[in-house]
Amino acid sequence: MDTTLLLTTIEAIAKILIMVAVGMLAVKVHILNEKETNALAHFVINITSPMLLLSCFFDHGDPERMKGFLIALALGALMHIISIILGIVLVKKGTPTSEVEKMGITYGNVAFMGIPLVNAMLGEEAVFYLSAIIIMFNLFIWSHGMILMRGSMSKKDLLHVLTTPSMICIFIGIFIYVFRIPIPDIVRSPITSIGSATTPVSMIVAGSIVIRSDLKAILKDKKTYLVSALRLIVTPLLLLLFIKVFHITGVVAICAYVASACPIASLVTMFALEYKKSPDYIAGLFALTTILSLATIPLMVMIYSLVG
């Protein structure tokens, strides 16, 4: 077993847990209210996270990286297809919460939680590969997700996919990387510094959301255990099977595997609120899976190390 990877994961999770606890404490002592939490989340999604993604393309090193990027794209598509099938097969149809449960199973927090996690575990190279998975996340959630929640998608939705700050920064980054455009330090340094704020701010936001959730009510609903298990355990294990069958190794494999084990995406709660699809229920599931992931992600990494 690769104990180094496991210890690195546990250390990263421990650091994240402390930052989550700070967010919870900030709410308890009335430093951070709900409006301020939403503002911070907006700041992470639209400023710090895109800057972190962009900074990962500044180094034009090993050409094998682009090959890994393409593999990550394929794994990103595969993990979403696996989750969609799980939702179709295992979620009871026709219930008031069936759509958001399928959304929760399919869409993990690969940006908001994934970026700080893989960055802490594996460094900048992993964030580079994660950007490919984020591309697939956006393509799927604004197509499949939109159809699931609204029954259709429009050209405007497709345009939104391509014009989010993260996607724009990824496209700019790919251009910089492919054409080996040198980035002067006067530009590189502030972008990198802004991006480095992603981990602490996003985890403080996660903690403030968790502390406001009614976890007692969520825990009484048996369906939450199925959704949580499918999102946090079954999906990554099925992806791991494909990773081993196709002999995918290295940082790109670990990055995709960890991304597949992330808790429910915060964007799912926003979709539920927008289309009035049990928003309180999915917000509770978001909080529950976020808490559980602090234990299940190290467990998943342990399994990866054992079958390694």
Q: What is 57-92 written as a DSSP string?
A: TS----THHHHHHHHHHHHHHHHHHHHHHHHHHHSP
Question: Residue 138's pLDDT band (boundaries 50, 70, 90)?
Answer: confident
* Measured distance CA(285)–CA(230) in Å, rounded: 12
Strand partners, 59: none
Rounded average pLDDT over 254-263: 95
* pLDDT for position 61: 62
* pLDDT for position 179: 87
Residue 258: domain span: 3-307
Three-state DSSP class for 168?
helix
* Measured distance CA(109)–CA(289) in Å, rounded: 10
- Distance from chain centroid for Cα 219: 23
66-125: pLDDT as tens digits:
899 999 999 999 999 999 999 999 998 888 889 999 999 999 989 878 888 898 888 888
44 contacts: CB under 8 Å, gap ≥ 6:
112, 198, 201, 202, 205
* pLDDT for position 276: 81
186-221: pLDDT as tens digits:
999 999 999 888 888 888 888 888 888 777 888 888
* pLDDT for position 147: 85
> 257 near 300, Cβ under 8 Å?
yes
- Domains held by the chain: number: 1
* pLDDT for position 1: 53
Residue found under tokens 């917000």? 283
Segment among 140-149, 154-163, 228-237, 240-249 with least mean pLDDT: 154-163
Rounded average pLDDT over 14-31: 91
- In this predicted structure, the answer to whether residue 156 has a pLDDT above a threshold of 80 is no
* Measured distance CA(80)–CA(76) in Å, rounded: 7
* Measured distance CA(260)–CA(231) in Å, rounded: 8
Mean pLDDT, all residues of the chain: 88
DSSP 26-68: HHHTTSS-HHHHHHHHHHIIIIIHHHHHHHTTS----THHHHH
Q: What CATH number should be reported for the domain holding residue 205? A: 1.20.1530.20
56-81: pLDDT as tens digits:
888 766 677 889 999 999 999 999 99
pTM, two decimals, is: 0.84
Q: CA angle, 259 as apex, 254 and 136 as ends, to 5°?
A: 115
Q: CA 284, 293, 130, 112 torsion: positive or negative?
A: positive
159-192: pLDDT as tens digits:
777 788 888 998 999 899 888 899 999 999 999 9
* pLDDT for position 206: 82
Cα→Cα distances 102→80, 99, 211, 264, Å: 11, 5, 24, 11
- In this predicted structure, the answer to whether residue 15 has a pLDDT above a threshold of 80 is yes
Q: CA angle, 122 as apex, 74 and 270 as ends, to 5°?
A: 60
Instruction: Name which residue leads in pLDDT, 56 or 250.
Output: 250
* pLDDT for position 75: 97
> 170 near 135, Cβ under 8 Å?
yes
* pLDDT for position 149: 82
- In this predicted structure, the answer to whether residue 303 has a pLDDT above a threshold of 80 is yes
